[in-house]
Amino acid sequence: MLDVNGTREAHLQAFQQAPALFSAPGRVNIIGEHTDYAEGFVMPAAIDFETIAAISPRTDGQVVIASQNFNETVTHSLQQLPEKARHHWSDYPLGVLWALREKGIDVPAFSLTLKGDVPLGAGLSSSASVEVATISALLSLTGKEIPLPEMAQLCRRAENVYVGASTGIMDQFIACCGKENHALLLDCRSLDYKLAPIPANIAIVISNTMVKHSHAGGEYNTRRAEVEEGTRILHAHRPEIKFLRDATVDDLAKWGSEMPPDVLKRTRHVITEDDRTVAAAAALEAGDLKTLGRLMYEAHASYRDDFEGSCPEADILVDLASKEAGVIGARLTGGGFGGCTVNLVEEAHATTFIENLRKGYHAATGISADIYRCHASDGVHRIAE
């Protein structure tokens, strides 16, 4: 839990103004990986890690952004904001400011203090939580209200265009629309969504491989390009396939042989993952936890073998989890190439599970994993005075 008063005080001390405070969560994705930018389905939950944004207006035309995590403050004139990302933590809040201005929303000069406890580079969407907390804070100074799905889209645009990571809509959307004790099945094409309650006797345990990743550049963008190549090949045969959301395993059986082997594998992952995600949501809704768990393991195997987005450490965590009592399912969550695994565990077994997983992982890798017992949480909100 973050110390909200600490952030309020720090802001007051630095800027001599009492701030308004906003909180936006990180997320864990239960199933549906690398399907969002293919306009498919995902089923994340917001979690009780968050970013707090404290904001107050200024009268000197400056934009001053302080990060309590990095212990650093950046200052820019509102008239002369950096046009491009600089590979710096401030890219995310500045990207959001850029996206609002691009949309024609004038943001007055401000002081912003950011503090977060979403582990960085761990696949739990620290960046989306910064973006969404920031956009709510900035909007509060404009007197404008934007519907939550549109806020998510603006934050995604900040990340895609300004920061330069070609991510989909999942992280920003769940940070906006998450609901306590629920997972959210999102149709990334229409942005329609359904909330599914997570049974009270199920614990969400997140285990961190401690292997870090970054989306800006690197493997994420390469994979995305491969998925797009697969889409183009199928589209040439069936023009109604605009995104892999529109394709089926039959299409792959017919035309997959025209794809380079890696492209075929990435494409197969996305198409089958979409099917698994829809089935998993139905299983959760029906209380069929056995099917949900099986689909999570299948999703992990596909992420590992077809998408080649896992890492040996995540495979070890999933394998260890699968042998423990009371475990419903486990898989690598998030953008991949490191980060965390998500485990759904019967509450009664959760404590022993965590102990055994920690020991087993250390014995196998020499790494001490951070393991978090999380709760599905609400999306962005203003923190009461």
Catalytic residue positions, numbered? 171
Residue 339 lies near ligand GLA (rule: CB under 6 A): no
Interacting residue with ligand GLA among 25, 33, 38, 114 (CB under 6 A):
33
Question: Binders of ligand GLA: how many residues, by CB under 6 A?
Answer: 11
Stretch that binds ligand GLA, among 58-66, 146-154, 166-174, 194-202 (CB under 6 A): 166-174
Residue 37 lies near ligand GLA (rule: CB under 6 A): yes
Nearer to ligand GLA, 170 or 357 (CB): 170
Query: Cβ 215 to ligand GLA, closest distance in Å?
Result: 6
Q: Helix or strand or coil: residue 22?
A: strand
Contact 281, 194 (CB under 8 A): yes
DSSP letter at 120 equals: T
The position carrying tokens 């009664």 is: 348
**Sign of torsion over alpha carbons 329, 334, 336, 341:** negative
**Sign of torsion over alpha carbons 355, 358, 364, 366:** negative
Farthest-apart Cα atoms in the chain, separation: 66
Interacting residue with ligand GLA among 167, 277, 302, 377 (CB under 6 A):
167
Stretch that binds ligand GLA, among 16-24, 88-96, 163-171, 260-268 (CB under 6 A): 163-171
Query: Rounded to whole angstroms, how far apart are CA atoms 291 and 5?
Result: 44
Residue 25 lies near ligand GLA (rule: CB under 6 A): no
CA–centroid distance for 325 within its chain? 28
DSSP letter at 334 equals: S
| Contacts with ligand GLA, 171-200, as mask; x by CB under 6 A | x-----------------------------
Pairing of strands 62-67, 110-116: parallel
Query: Rounded to whole angstroms, how far apart are CA atoms 33 and 17?
Result: 42
Nearer to ligand GLA, 170 or 241 (CB): 170
Contact 382, 20 (CB under 8 A): yes
Residue 49 lies near ligand GLA (rule: CB under 6 A): no
Query: Rounded to whole angstroms, how far apart are CA atoms 302 and 293?
Result: 14
Stretch that binds ligand GLA, among 6-14, 31-39, 46-54, 86-94 (CB under 6 A): 31-39
User: Residue 314: which of 299, 294, 336 has the closest Cα?
Assistant: 336
Residue 95 lies near ligand GLA (rule: CB under 6 A): no
Nearer to ligand GLA, 34 or 276 (CB): 34
Residue 334 lies near ligand GLA (rule: CB under 6 A): yes
Query: Rounded to whole angstroms, how far apart are CA atoms 371 and 368?
Result: 9
Interacting residue with ligand GLA among 19, 93, 95, 168 (CB under 6 A):
168
Residue 92 lies near ligand GLA (rule: CB under 6 A): no
Nearer to ligand GLA, 171 or 313 (CB): 171
Q: Helix or strand or coil: residue 341?
A: strand
User: Residue 95: which of 27, 37, 174, 154 has the closest Cα?
Assistant: 154
Interacting residue with ligand GLA among 64, 146, 152, 170 (CB under 6 A):
170
Query: Rounded to whole angstroms, how far apart are CA atoms 118 and 24?
Result: 10
Residues 104-133 that bind ligand GLA (CB under 6 A): 125
Nearer to ligand GLA, 176 or 354 (CB): 176
Stretch that binds ligand GLA, among 33-41, 79-87, 114-122, 193-201 (CB under 6 A): 33-41
Residue 248 tokens, joined: 């089926």
Residue 155 lies near ligand GLA (rule: CB under 6 A): no
Residues 273-332 that bind ligand GLA (CB under 6 A): none
Residue 34 lies near ligand GLA (rule: CB under 6 A): yes
Query: Cβ 334 to ligand GLA, closest distance in Å?
Result: 5
Rg for the chain (alpha carbons), in Å?
21
Query: Cβ 325 to ligand GLA, closest distance in Å?
Result: 29
Residue 36 lies near ligand GLA (rule: CB under 6 A): yes
Residues 216-255 that bind ligand GLA (CB under 6 A): none
Neighbour order of strands in the sheet with 370-374: 327-333, 340-346, 202-208, 370-374
- Name the site residues for ligand GLA (rule: CB under 6 A): 33-34, 36-37, 125, 167-168, 170-171, 334-335
